[in-house]
Amino acid sequence: MSISLGLLITVIGLMCTVFGLIIGFFTFSRNRDKDVKSDAAESASITTKLDHIGQSVDSIRIDLKASDQRWTTLSGTVIRIDESTKQAHKRIDKIENKGEV
């Protein structure tokens, strides 16, 4: 039983090809898993950052409402003080006019 050199080289070449395909498939599978893990970690990080930004926006919104309420209160106080000042000036004017007459 003699095997020709060409047949032996062909069989060895086919075995190397199959072995290379198997190694390539396992490498591809492992790298795909790593990519999925890294994508999941990145997605989780982005989600966490977006949640933090959302909480910050909510906090700013609450602060803005409180500030708006303070401005409204202050505005009402200024209006009352202005009216009181006008009445006081009218009374002072009446007192001054009585003194001159």
Distance CA 51, CA 15 (A): 54
Q: What is the DSSP letter of 80?
A: H
- CA-to-CA dists, residue 86 to 55, 61, 82, 94, angstroms: 47, 37, 6, 12
pLDDT at 37 over 50: yes
| Whole-number pLDDT of residue 56 | 94
pLDDT at 99 over 80: no
pLDDT at 57 over 50: yes
Distance CA 22, CA 12 (A): 15
pLDDT band at 38 (very low <50, low <70, confident <90, very high): confident
pLDDT band at 82 (very low <50, low <70, confident <90, very high): very high
Distance CA 84, CA 78 (A): 10
Distance CA 47, CA 39 (A): 12
